[in-house]
Structure formats: C-alpha cells, structure tokens
Structure 1
Amino acid sequence: MDRLPTVEEFVAVTSAVGWTDAYDPAAIPASLAASLHGVVAVEGNRVIGIGRLVGDGAIYYYLQDLAVRPERQRRGVGAAILGRLEEWIAARASPRTFVGLFAAGESVGLYRRFGYAVHDDMTGMFRVGPYRPPHGGPGH
C-alpha cells in the first residue's frame, strides 16, 4: 500500500534485516517525515516490507530503505515495492530525471532487473556520521 511506514514498522523491518546500527533512532521520525513517498507491504496485519523515496521531488530521486523481512524475501515482495515506487516516480518524472540508490549483496540483481546499472564514469560515494565539517576544507 502506498504510504510511509510508521516509526515502529520501520524499526521492526529494518531490524529484521540487520540494520540495527544503521540509524540514529532519534532521527527516524524526522527522516520518515521528509520522505517524498513510501510503500508498505502488508501480510495479514503485519508489515513485511518497506520502501521509500527521498530527493528533491523534481530532478533527483533516491530509492531508500527498501527492505523485506528475511522470511518473506525472494517471493516478489521487494519487486512489488520497487514497482510501486517506480510507478510513483514515472508519474512525476521529467525526461532527464535521475534515480539513484545504493545496493548491497543480493539486492543488486533486483535493481538490475528494473534497469539500474553501475556506470563506469560515475562513482557512488558516501559519508557516515558523526558529521562534522572537514578540517582544511572550503572556508577553513
């Protein structure tokens, strides 16, 4: 269903996939609130998967936190979540929309099936906190 997960649902699913140290718990509510869109997969009354989009809502979109409980993986849940997110983007995309993501492990295959690729002329980079301005950088 098209909606953001609650904080409790987010924590339950991301913990189930082992992302327990990936987030500052105090930052989760603000992070979810700043999302562009979300999708939650529900089985019975239990959330089994989540996915969301972040970005500027015009040119740049990033697929974020697509996670499916381990016992429900490899059954099409992740593909269904990704498909719904892709439909949402497609309804708003410009001809030059950029959609990015970070993929790890076996999830690479899922994203490749949806047309995502690693480009030789681009390098994905990231920095994880605690965030402090770099010493000796601009303005120092």
Structure 2
Amino acid sequence: MSYIAHYQSIEPQTYIDLRVNCGLSAKTVKAATIGLANSLCSVVVINEDNDEIIGMGRLIGDGGCHCQVADICILPPHQGKGLSKLIMQKLDEFIQDNIPETCYINLIADGEAYKLYQQYRFKEVWPASRGMGYTLKK
C-alpha cells in the first residue's frame, strides 16, 4: 500500500467515523462541524490505492499563545506503518512555519503514544503541571 499525508480539511461525518473506528470518543455532527471549522491545521493520511482517508491529526488553539495537537489517529488495519509520524511531521512543519516561537504547544498522550511525541520536542510536564479536563454532557 502507498500512503500520502497532506493538509486537508475533512467532512464532519468522516471525522466522526475516523475517531470512532480508531477507538476515540464519538462526537456529534454539531460538535464536529464547529471544531473542524476552527482548526488551525488539519492533516489527513490517504491510502493512495483507493483514495480512502485512513488517518488524521489537527492543530487547534489561538495560533499565537496556545495550541494543542489533537485527534492523531490511524485506522487499525493501517497502524504500525509509521503513519502517525507522517501526520506529526506535517503538523510540525506547519508549527515551525506559522506559529510564533513563544506559543505553548501541548497535547495529551494516550498510552505509549508519548514515545512518538517525544520525537517532536514534547516533554512530560508533571510534576510542575497537571493535565486536567472534562466533557460537558447534557
């Protein structure tokens, strides 16, 4: 199989399906529509054999003071092929070319994913800082 990563926004339903199929939490169409429209940068990985989007990653935030890497995921049949690195390379290129040097760029690493992110200058912030969050549920 042949893959390519490039900057591209995606449709809300494609985003939702990718998240769910990669084991991430589901999002509503409303949430996906709002979130995707406010992305600073979106990267997709495409299987060139059939033009299927099989992975994604985004940079979100204000683009000046605070940014977060989010939604890094690859569909399970395509995992283990270095495709998350392709996404991070594209996001890193965008960051280096467009984001001010004093911007704080962060992420939440699930499981062993921190090993990937360490290759792109990310460091653990504990014990100086503690990541926190919640989801608004109605």
Residue 30 of structure 1 is matched in structure 2 by: 34
Aligned positions, number: 130
Matched, 1:122 2:122: no
Which 4+ stretches in 1 moved above 6 angstroms? none
Residue 41 of structure 1 is matched in structure 2 by: 45
CA contact (8 A) 2:55 2:74 kept: yes
User: Structure 2 CA distance, aligned partners of 1:27 and 1:94?
Assistant: 28
Residue 136 of structure 1 is matched in structure 2 by: none
User: Structure 2 CA distance, aligned partners of 1:27 and 1:130?
Assistant: 12
CA contact (8 A) 1:5 1:50 kept: no
Match of 1:100 among 95, 106, 125: 106
Residue 11 of structure 2 is matched in structure 1 by: 6
Name the TM-score, length of structure 2 as normaliser.
0.86
User: Structure 1 CA distance, aligned partners of 2:30 and 2:13?
Assistant: 12
- State the AA in 2 paired with 1:16: N
Q: For residues 8 and 23 of structure 1, do their structure 2 counterparts lie closer, same or farther at Cα, with a shift above 3 Å needed?
A: closer
Structure 1 position 79, deviation (Å): 0.5
Residue 74 of structure 1 is matched in structure 2 by: 80
Structure 1 position 8, deviation (Å): 2.7
User: Structure 2 CA distance, aligned partners of 1:115 and 1:90?
Assistant: 12
Could you list the per-position Cα deviations for residues 37-77 of structure 1 after superposition, in whole angstroms to 9, with x for gaps in the alignment?
Answer: 10010012111110111100112111011111111112111
User: Structure 1 CA distance, aligned partners of 2:54 and 2:22?
Assistant: 11
CA contact (8 A) 2:43 2:91 kept: yes
Name the TM-score, length of structure 1 as normaliser.
0.85
User: Structure 1 CA distance, aligned partners of 2:123 and 2:26?
Assistant: 24
User: Structure 1 CA distance, aligned partners of 2:45 and 2:88?
Assistant: 11
Q: Which moved more, 1:61-70 or 1:23-32?
A: 23-32
Structure 1 position 128, deviation (Å): 1.2
SS of the residue corresponding to residue 85 of structure 1 reads helix
SS of the residue corresponding to residue 135 of structure 2 reads coil
Q: What percent identity do the matched residue pairs reach?
A: 25
Larger radius of gyration between Structure 1 and Structure 2: 1
